[in-house]
Structure 1
Amino acid sequence: MRAVGAEQVEEAVADCVAVLGAVADRDWGKVRAGGLEWDCRKTAEHIADDLIAYAGRLAGRSTAGHLPFTISLDEDTDNTGVLKTIEATGALLAAAIRTTPRAVRAFHPYPFRHANREGFAAMGIAEVLLHTHDIAEGTGIGYEPPAELASFVLTRIFPRVKPGPTPWRTLLWATGRGELPGREPVTGWKWSNNPVLRSERLVLEGVTPAVAADLSLAGDGGFDWVDSGPFEGTREGAGMLLKQYEEGVFHPEWAMYVLARREDDRAVGAMGFHGVPDEAGRVEIGYDLSVDARGRGYATEALRTLSRWALEQDGVRTVAAAVEQENVPSQKVVDRAGFSEVSRQEGQISYELRG
């Protein structure tokens, strides 16, 4: 399956090198990089350092923490040499993305201590775009990257940021580098990779706005699905999730998860919450399994995992589910997962699992 993100890293790096190459003859060490405390030279070196660090974590399958290495440039390296280093480290990150299996996750601290190849691509692109902006601002030249690159970053590692007038202006605002009408200035920020939960046979992988958009438009969301593919409920749920993102009320942990088999990384369905817990600590859950994957206990296993996780969160007291009275297989799923029937109304049975 095509590794999304590698081409975007290459494009971001090429754009950076072309823009900063026009001012490579200046003394970057004497100019502050935009609003940063670093000078432009140190900021450029930082771009290369981050790119190689991300490539190393992915290639080395690092799960415990930062790798114990960093870039050290020769003392006589000029700005052109720094840009060549950014090109090389960008190429290494792109290669790592292309050669890393989709299901692999490596260490990154925010916020779940791991990221997949697409997350590392988005983080690498963010470093390139934002710090190219900082250096361009410090050297007094204009810079605006392709809108698609800024959108790539926002829809993968800034899921709670409501889209703004343009992706680039929104990304600058979200990282404390600009203003947006009607929004308070950002003084502190961190990006957010998607959540992942694991059961005996499944990986429950949190859906990003980018994945939701693709699934809602009849795509595969970057997953290798069983032959029957995403069922209609998964696509409808993805559309609802995308609407939440566009309205600025998307919460990754309380959204949808794609269920992928651990044995072969093939997606078998989706499960998720209808929204964040209410004031009473109640959250509703729903699920959808591809036809080829039914009758094997996947839904029950995933429901137990996700419900248990929910009830471990602060303030959550009840996980609810509603099942059509005619849908006997789903009724058996919630029964096996430990839910109890609480009411019947208008053709639906309401169930609850309490902590």
Structure 2
Amino acid sequence: MGDLVTTRLVLHPLTAAEAERVVAGTPDAGDRWAPGYPTGGDVLAARRYLAARADCGDPRPFGNFEIRLREDGRAIGGAGFHGPADADGGVTVGYGLVPSARGSGYASEALRALLGFARAHGATRVRGDADHDNLASHRVMTAAGMRPAGQDERVRYFEIGWGDEETA
């Protein structure tokens, strides 16, 4: 599986070795990390990816991606899926950027690429969520085409679907 390339970004599928370096916070000589990378969210996602690999093998195509700037290859965050598609073809997505990369539309650009990727790989629905006070993430998901799909006491849910039960 190759990189997903957008206008300004490269979403690079993490390998096990790259995920281990993210968890350790220790870049290899070939890694180009922006200041602040990896964030706590990147470490959590890399741990989840490594646990999934250990439990059931490589979760691709619904694995994790490192978000890199096309102009210089620096890693500025991560995005990916929380696991394989469920019985109905639904997947859950997450993303995050280092603080210096926020506010430039990178998260929406990365999320749009992931949504297209999910659809092309047979997903029928993509879900995401964000804390109630994380208005920036709400805007990212709506800018990428996801719609509000409910809430609980902690988070607001968003989703987009394709097929007979299409919601977007």
The alignment's TM-score, normalised by the length of structure 2, stands at 0.91
Q: Contact 1:224 / 1:267 at 8 angstroms: preserved in 2?
A: yes
CA distance in 2, matches of 1:215, 1:230: 6
CA distance in 2, matches of 1:287, 1:299: 7
Work out whether 1:289 is the aligned partner of 2:126.
no
1:273 is matched with: 81
1:102 is matched with: none
2:23 is matched with: 216
Q: Secondary structure at the match of 1:283?
A: strand
CA distance in 1, matches of 2:84, 2:68: 23
Q: Contact 2:61 / 2:121 at 8 angstroms: preserved in 1?
A: no
Q: Contact 1:207 / 1:252 at 8 angstroms: preserved in 2?
A: no
CA distance in 1, matches of 2:155, 2:124: 22
Work out whether 1:235 is the aligned partner of 2:54.
no
CA distance in 2, matches of 1:309, 1:248: 22
Q: Secondary structure at the match of 1:350?
A: strand
Relative contact order, higher structure (CA 8 A, sep 6+): 2
Q: Contact 1:220 / 1:230 at 8 angstroms: preserved in 2?
A: no
Residue identity in the other structure for 1:280:
D
Residues 293-339 of structure 1: CA deviation (Å, up to 9, x unaligned): 1111100000001111111223x210100111011111110011110
Q: Secondary structure at the match of 2:61?
A: helix
CA distance in 1, matches of 2:138, 2:153: 16
Work out whether 1:198 is the aligned partner of 2:11.
no
Residue identity in the other structure for 2:74:
R
Work out whether 1:300 is the aligned partner of 2:108.
yes
The alignment's TM-score, normalised by the length of structure 1, stands at 0.44
Work out whether 1:310 is the aligned partner of 2:115.
no
CA distance in 1, matches of 2:151, 2:62: 26
Q: Structure 2: 5+ residue runs without aligned partners?
A: 163-168
Runs of 4+ in structure 1 off by over 2 angstroms are: 220-223
Match of 2:58 among 250, 272, 280: 250
In proportion to residue count, which structure has more strand?
A: 2
Q: Secondary structure at the match of 1:353?
A: strand
CA distance in 1, matches of 2:10, 2:78: 11
| CA positional deviation for 1:255 | 0.9
Q: Contact 1:196 / 1:204 at 8 angstroms: preserved in 2?
A: yes
| CA positional deviation for 1:249 | 3.3
Work out whether 1:327 is the aligned partner of 2:134.
yes
Residue identity in the other structure for 2:143:
R
State the structure with more CA Rg. 1
CA distance in 2, matches of 1:251, 1:229: 23
CA distance in 1, matches of 2:27, 2:125: 32
| CA positional deviation for 1:196 | 1.2
Number of positions where the alignment pairs a residue of Structure 1 with one of Structure 2: 161
1:337 is matched with: 144
Q: Structure 1: 5+ residue runs without aligned partners?
A: 1-111, 113-194
Q: Secondary structure at the match of 2:104?
A: coil
Residue identity in the other structure for 1:256:
N
